[in-house]
Amino acid sequence: MSTNSSITLFGIPNCDTVKKARTWMEQQNIPFAFHNFKKDGLTPEQIELWLQEIDLTLLINRKGTTWRALSEEQKSSAEDKDGAIELMLTNPSVIKRPVLQINSDTRKHVSVGFNDQQYQIIFKEV
């Protein structure tokens, strides 16, 4: 891994998938910062950065309890980019977790969700 890399894992500490990702990275001795987006917040710029790398449909968790609790009006606001960003800022639990962001001098990478094989591939490339 490049010496000029930064790895940030965004999520919520009590989310099982986030816990699995954090444990995997710790077991692989991969240094990373954890950003609790409920406690530490998010900015529109941060979400815009993610959307440069991943599709909006991948970033919103439409299967979770937070999504199901939204009104139809809130759900329909997520159909366009600006409305979706506003929804994610006001309801960060609607964001699929974890969001992995890697910035290095050679590449930028953003991915959503976690599974062992996916992370093995990602970190082989970094």
Q: Give catalytic residues, as residue numbers.
A: 15
Pairing of strands 33-36, 108-112: unpaired
HEC-encoded secondary structure of 67-92: HHHCCHHHHHHCCCHHHHHHHHHHCH
What's the DSSP call for residue 64? S
